[in-house]
Amino acid sequence: MSRTQRLLDLIQILRSHRYPVTGAQLAADLDISLRTLYRDIATLQEQGASIAGEPGLGYVLKPGFMLPPLMFSEEEIEALVLGSRWVADRGDERLAFAARNALQKIAAVLPPDLRESLDTTTLLAGPDDNRADIDTALPLLRAAIRNEHKIHLNYRDGKGQASQRMIWPFALGYFEHVRVLIAWCELRQEIRHFRSDRIVSFEVYPQRYPRRRQTLLKEWREIEGIATDRN
């Protein structure tokens, strides 16, 4: 375990306790000696961590202390890299570029040992052999969701039946080989799911729909165990 990782783990352990924890217990949790623990606590205090206590009495992290925003565990780094690689492979061109760019920004400010973990992680995202040409549509759909704009949709369901819908898009689901637009459908007067590969054409309207997307998303989450229709 790197020292950076150990310091992060120490902060996380202290954060999980409301009352002082003995140095012996902290050292045991981290599998280090008491001398190393005391040095680590002193280092964190020098860096601004509000840790109160002393040997023999125990230590407690005072409320209000925030971790530096770019301190990650090795598993968190693996999750970031794997997620970014997945998005880069399955997202549209703009989203893929954003994922790679964000990872580069994180790498630029990480401590050297964590940067090495980011550069050398061996978790890979496999290719999507069924990837469709989505670079044009998905950025426009994401923008409509962000701006809470209505969309007029020409859609063809799984049986080949065509329909026109006025929808209020509020989420976009990325599955292994399918992208699903989640929206309130004015025709059906309920939340519906529209596969992006079945969208024939669409037009984004300039006016906003009358409800907040956060409210729609909350309602969808409450019924997602029931609503299984994918049109």
Residue-wise DSSP of 21-82? B-HHHHHHHHT--HHHHHHHHHHHHHTT--EEEETTTEEEEPTT----TT---HHHHHHHHH
Q: How far apart are CA 89 and CA 132, in angstroms?
A: 12
- Among 196, 157, 152, residue whose Cα is nearest residue 175: 196
Q: Give the per-residue pLDDT at 228.
A: 44
- Among 47, 49, 110, residue whose Cα is nearest residue 74: 110
- For 77-127, what is each residue's pLDDT tens digit? 888 888 888 888 877 888 888 888 888 877 776 777 777 777 777 777 776
Asked whether the whole model's pTM tops 0.85, one would answer no
The pair of structure tokens assigned to 101 is 């760019």
Query: Tens-of-pLDDT digits for all 231 residues of the chain?
Result: 678 778 888 888 888 887 899 999 999 999 999 999 999 999 888 877 888 888 888 999 887 655 554 567 778 888 888 888 888 887 788 888 888 888 887 777 677 777 777 777 777 777 666 555 455 788 899 999 999 999 999 999 989 999 999 999 999 988 877 889 999 999 999 999 999 889 999 999 998 999 999 999 999 998 876 544 445
C-alpha torsion sign, points 34, 39, 45, 48: negative
**In the chain, where the domains are located:** 3-61, 74-120, 137-223
Top-level class of domain 137-223: mainly beta
Domain 3-61 has CATH 3.40.50.1580: no
